[in-house]
Structure 1
Amino acid sequence: MEDTIAAIATAFGEGGIGIIRMSGEKSKDILNQIFIPISKKNSEQHQIVNRRLTYGIVIDPQTNQTIDEVMAVFMKAPYTYTMEDIAEIHCHGSSISLQKTLALVLRFGARLAEKGEFTKRAFLNGRLDLSQAEAVIDLIKAKTDKSFQVALSQMEGELSSKIKEIRSDLMDILVQIAVNLDYPDEDIEVLTYKKQEESLLLIGDKIDKLLSLADTGRMLRDGIAVTIIGKPNVGKSSLMNAFLRESRAIVTEIPGTTRDIIEESMSVRGIPIRLTDTAGIHETDDIIEKIGIEKSKQSFNQADLIIFMLDASQPLMKEDLEIANYIGERKTIVLINKTDLEISLCEKEIKRTLPGAVILYTSMKNETGLNELEEEIEKMVYGGDLVQKNSMMVTNVRHKELLLQAKQSINDALKMIKKMEAMDFIEVDIKRAWELLGEMIGETVSEDIINEVFSRFCLGK
């Protein structure tokens, strides 16, 4: 018999309701020992009905002390999240009430759940495959409507279905190879090198389509790190305030007002952004400014996208060129700010210095150019295509790596087909691709990987 596990399933802190969740064969027995159902209408006890919330009190049977006034529900297996008996106690959202109720549940036969153990049981009992289970984490951590939508589609099995389809195609080839190797004299369809090649090329295309959206999926899942960089007093703090629609960073006419980095999370057109406003990069003898500039450089090195701000009213200066050289070939948007003033900056010089950068014009004072900047960020994330309508994306780094390895195995098999190598050699690479894709959905995965995946969950999920 599996242990009955229990945990607080709601976030720590004060709230209207806090939930204690149990899963396992003892769930109902434990609930019956510490929960007394009461009918408000006539104050008489009544029974807990499967899948129906019941009003009552949690008591400590040893002291007969009331712990809290609660709602409780019992859900009988297999029609539950874990496919085991589940009981939940909905307490008032006080940490004292939750801790006391959990202590009672543990005293009467449950053990404290490990991180992600409820979802792990759902996986082990066949309700979810591994990629669906991992999508549960993404669903919990989703920061925007789009990232939530992508995670939800994965949890519902959209990605899993595609992987199963590709694995089925690979298995068809493996079966054909096995039949041709084991029964060469039988009256069966001969598997030619050409047929193998055609089938593997189609499978490779399916994997490529998944990989083509992997970077976009990662950005939607984890957000993109955007660093605003430039010399002092070009409008970096004003840009951050404009993005956030609030006065988060101090803005003055005095150069060097920002002496440390300021980090904020936000959403731009459904894309989660981790935005960093940096201290102006320049030479200084001020020890505090030096520390801020070093932090700016660290933020720059970790950024997915650089917004390099310039002052339109001034020609390119030595400090600007030094920053441009520091940027090199990084993905960059050059923002020429202060276009409300007389323009002295030469765009050709910028293009010559940063040939791969996108150049936009803004005026933080007149609040112009921000829409164009948001459009460019959206275009960079989605690769210029309308793929934001597609909810089936690979968002997980583990999944992307497995897809890349599977594609490499298919390419290796295709090389051997070109050379007309022995079928059993080709079979090894095709089977390897089949196994790698199986790791995505948990059908050919080791216990260590399963444990590592579920260790990323929070308690109670």
Structure 2
Amino acid sequence: MSMLTGDDTISAIATAIGEGGIGIIRISGSKAMAIAGKLFISKSGKTVDSLLSHQVMYGHIIDPASGETVDEAILLSMRAPRSYTCEDVVEIHCHGGPVPLKRILDLTLVQGARLAEPGEFTKRAFLNGRLDLAQAEAVIDIIRSKTDASLKVAVGNLSGQLSEQVRALRHAVLRMIAQLEAAIDFPEEDIEEAAAADVAQLIAEAKSRLTTLLATAQTGRILREGLATVIIGKPNVGKSSLLNALLREKRAIVTDIPGTTRDIIEEYVNIGGIPLKIIDTAGIRDTADVVEKIGVERAKALVEQADLILLLLDSSAPLSPEDRAVLELLPGKQAIVLINKSDLPARLETEEVEKYTGGRLVLKISVAREEGLAALEQAIVDMVYGGQVSPGEAAFVNNVRHSAALRAALERLNDAEATIEAGMPSDCIVVDLREAWEKLGAVTGDTVGEDIIDQIFTQFCIGK
């Protein structure tokens, strides 16, 4: 991929907003060393220009206009192409307060840098060929990872696990195209029919590989975005107690901080590596009763948003009209039915419950005694992975854009297969195969439009 056009040098704060031990200002571009040289005075007397790539110097940031010392700092030099952006990059590591960071950033802008756009450092890494588009998107997935499992998927994609499989598929499709075009170019050899038969076999193999990859998409999406989960049930059935049990201290809770990469705060509970995104957490905590105080319509709205419903019933009481109203929300949804208070004398008839559950998993638990919670956790893990290998062992499709492109490629392969079965000319088969090849290229960025690229990188933080 060609290098960036233009000669802009960009600068931004690369660390999170707020107070911290260390803050970093990142500068990238042909003027990065010169700009840093105007601001940084080494304690040893060395100049920034004298630094070799990946060396550091200790010193101070000075305002050239006033001679004022702004902060104590360490300067790190990374010469092109051995840097994140493949350009000259300088990082200024100073104290992590908002005032010194902003002062130093402003000084870099005064000296000729411009403020980086969201994701522009990673965009330059992509445009300069250091990362493909799938790897670049994995960077933001790493930043937003909610559990170790989601981190492993993102790191695997950054290392090229997904890209390697997609490139192998593109290469296979390209070989099919070459084989058919060779048959078209030499009609006197009468090999066109044989070539089509060979390609039909190759298409079947490519479809199988693509189907296997797409089978990871649902799990990958959940690991990336979280399993949207709602807890519903009648009054006093134990919803708040279950939520508190899930949120106990040994669980990891991850909160996205506003102003970094996202605009909203969401609460996630780590269940065996699966990030459960609890829907309407505040509402469930504030009321012990979704059905009575919010109403069945509100419960319906929550259910519509959910990937998973945890429906609580009371083992110590017969099935009530409220229970039936909630059970009737289950059709078409993924749900686990939890019969709580199993430590008390049972008055609930499970046979009646099973009339509504449609074969869904029913677990007996006691939230008060923390019985059955391990089984619930395992059930959620099994439901999400569906028998697939765990993250780190294979490539996972965890991005809606990627899964859409892969599904479109599979459709084009199906079209090519149908074209062969209909006995149509090889050039018609080639048209379908080229479209499949292009759809696969959209994943890695080889055949994607500039508007899509811009849209992807605007989701990043400034400074990444």
Rounded to whole Å, the distance in 2 between the matches of 1:120 and 1:444 is: 16
- Residue in 2 that maps onto 1:239: 242
Rounded to whole Å, the distance in 1 between the matches of 2:443 and 2:409 is: 11
Rounded to whole Å, the distance in 1 between the matches of 2:208 and 2:238 is: 46
- Structure 2 counterpart of 1:275, from 275, 278, 283: 278
Shift of 1:370: 0.4
User: Is 1:94–2:97 an aligned residue pair?
Assistant: yes
Shift of 1:321: 0.5
Matched residues, percent identical? 46
Q: 1:355 to 1:339 in 2, by over 3 A?
A: same
- Structure 1 counterpart of 2:341, from 324, 338, 343: 338
- Structure 1 counterpart of 2:212, from 209, 214, 236: 209
- One-letter amino acid of the counterpart of residue 195, structure 2: T
Rounded to whole Å, the distance in 1 between the matches of 2:130 and 2:55 is: 22
- Residue in 1 that maps onto 2:260: none
- Residue in 2 that maps onto 1:111: 114
- TM-score for both structures, normalised by structure 1: 0.91
- Structure 1 counterpart of 2:65, from 57, 62, 78: 62
Shift of 1:385: 4.0
8 Å Cα contact 1:149/1:391 also seen in 2: no
User: Is 1:166–2:169 an aligned residue pair?
Assistant: yes
- TM-score for both structures, normalised by structure 2: 0.91
- One-letter amino acid of the counterpart of residue 66, structure 1: T
Q: Encode CA deviations 1:356-384: one digit per residue, 9 max, x unaligned.
A: 32100111121101000000000110013
Alignment of 1:42-441 (within 5 A): 44-45=45-46, 48-50=50-52, 51-185=54-188, 191-245=194-248, 264-276=267-279, 278=284, 279=287, 280-283=289-292, 289-290=293-294, 295-388=298-391, 390-441=393-444
8 Å Cα contact 2:180/2:196 also seen in 1: no
Shift of 1:282: 3.4
- Residue in 1 that maps onto 2:447: 444
Rounded to whole Å, the distance in 2 between the matches of 1:429 and 1:46 is: 59
8 Å Cα contact 2:146/2:268 also seen in 1: no
SS of the aligned residue for 2:12 comes to strand
Q: 1:457 to 1:247 in 2, by over 3 A?
A: closer
Q: After TM superposition, where is structure 1 displaced by more than 6 Å over at least 4 residues in a row?
A: 187-190
8 Å Cα contact 1:281/1:323 also seen in 2: no
Shift of 1:126: 0.5
Q: 1:45 to 1:408 in 2, by over 3 A?
A: closer
The root-mean-square deviation of aligned C-alpha atoms, in Å, is: 2.0
8 Å Cα contact 2:9/2:32 also seen in 1: yes
Rounded to whole Å, the distance in 2 between the matches of 1:305 and 1:27 is: 50
8 Å Cα contact 1:409/1:433 also seen in 2: yes
8 Å Cα contact 2:153/2:392 also seen in 1: no
Shift of 1:297: 3.6
Rounded to whole Å, the distance in 2 between the matches of 1:61 and 1:295 is: 61
- Residue in 2 that maps onto 1:252: none
User: Is 1:27–2:27 an aligned residue pair?
Assistant: no
Shift of 1:178: 1.3
Rounded to whole Å, the distance in 2 between the matches of 1:282 and 1:139 is: 38
